[in-house]
Amino acid sequence: MAKTSLPIVLILSGPNLNLLGQRQPEIYGTATLDDHMNRAEQTAAKLGFEVESLVAQSAGELVTAIHNARSRCAAIIINPGALTHFAWSLSDALATFSGPIIEVHLSNPATRESWRHESVIAPVASGSIAGFGAHGYTLALNAVATLLADKK
Ligand code: DQA
């Protein structure tokens, strides 16, 4: 049950993102996932949203979270980690969600190895934010606010 009646934005993080801060800081920065989520909660509060966040190491857990978000959450922000590049089950699950979906990457996969250039999430997302590091989640929440305001 939601703690408040504010619209809920679900922020999903895929494999290895629990290691942010320790994992390749030269690529992903020194902020931990908790740092990113705390900052996201502050931004969400200013925008009038409630944030729920989940980190999962497998596509199946993320698929279940997306099913549970249908008709309960206003929007989904997702950094699927490496699942971005091949997890069609995640893509299919997101396609069943009717609200805004923002794909976030801390790094810019387009400037990295070629296997990171394809995203199977991008075709079902409202838009993608990549390469802005610690600003990614703040930018994504502002994108959600803009898209939800457009719908009113
Ligand atoms: C990432 C980019 C992916 O290619 C990679 O597998 C990650 C993190 C990012 O945030 O830049 O785990 O999604």
Provide the pLDDT for residue 152.
75
Cα dihedral value 144, 72, 119, 105, nearest 10: 50
Tell me which residue has tokens 């939800």: 148
pLDDT at 1 over 50: no
Q: What is the mean pLDDT of residues 125-145?
A: 97
Is 81 touching ligand 1 by the criterion CB < 6 Å?
Answer: yes
Q: Cα dist. 113→7, 28, 116, 120, 139 in Å? A: 37, 15, 6, 16, 25
Is 18 touching ligand 1 by the criterion CB < 6 Å?
Answer: no
Tell me which residue has tokens 């504010």: 6
User: Catalytic residue positions?
Assistant: 28, 105
Percent of the chain at pLDDT exceeding 90: 95
Q: All domains of the chain, ordered by start, with CATH?
A: 8-151 (3.40.50.9100)
Which atom number of ligand 1 is nearest to the Cα of residue 27? 11
Distance CA 40, CA 107 (A): 17
Angle at 146 between CA 142 and CA 148, to 5 degrees: 115
Provide the pLDDT for residue 17.
98
Provide the pLDDT for residue 151.
84
Distance 108 CA to ligand 1 centre (A): 8
pLDDT digits (tens, 9 = 90+) for 49-101: 999 999 999 999 999 999 999 989 999 999 999 999 999 999 999 999 999 99
Using a 10 angstrom Cβ sphere, with 0-12 exposed, 13-18 middle and 19 or more buried, the burial of residue 72 is exposed
| Pair of tokens at residue 27 | 């690529």
Q: How far is CA 86 from the centre of its chain?
A: 16
Distance 3 CA to ligand 1 centre (A): 31
pLDDT digits (tens, 9 = 90+) for 134-143: 999 999 999 9
Longest dimension (CA), the chain: 43
Which atom number of ligand 1 is nearest to the Cα of residue 108? 11
